[in-house]
Amino acid sequence: MIRLNNDTPSDVLQDVKKGDLVTDTFSKTGLVEEIEISDDGLYRVYKFLLVTGRSITVKK
C-alpha cells in the first residue's frame, strides 16, 4: 500500500500506476482508477481517482 500525502517524495508519486492500492492515511483507501497530473505554475498537482469514487490530491 502506498501512502499519499504532501510528504511523499515526487519519485514515488510518479511511480504510482493504475491498479495500485493507495491511502491518504485518514479515510480514503482504494485502487487507483485514473491519474491526472497538472501544473498550476507554483505546484505540480497529482490527482489520484480511486475506484470508490473518491480522489486523493497531492500538491508538490
Q: Structure pTM?
A: 0.92
Helix (H) or strand (E) holding 15: helix 10-15
How many whole angstroms separate alpha carbon 21 and alpha carbon 33?
10
Per-residue pLDDT tens digits for 5-58: 999 999 999 999 999 999 998 899 999 999 999 998 999 999 999 999 999 999
What integer pLDDT is reported at residue 36 of this predicted model? Answer: 97
Domain map of the chain by residue range?
Answer: 2-59
Cell of residue 18, nine digits: 493504475
- Under 8 Å between Cβ of 32 and 54: no
Tell me, what's the pLDDT at 3? 97
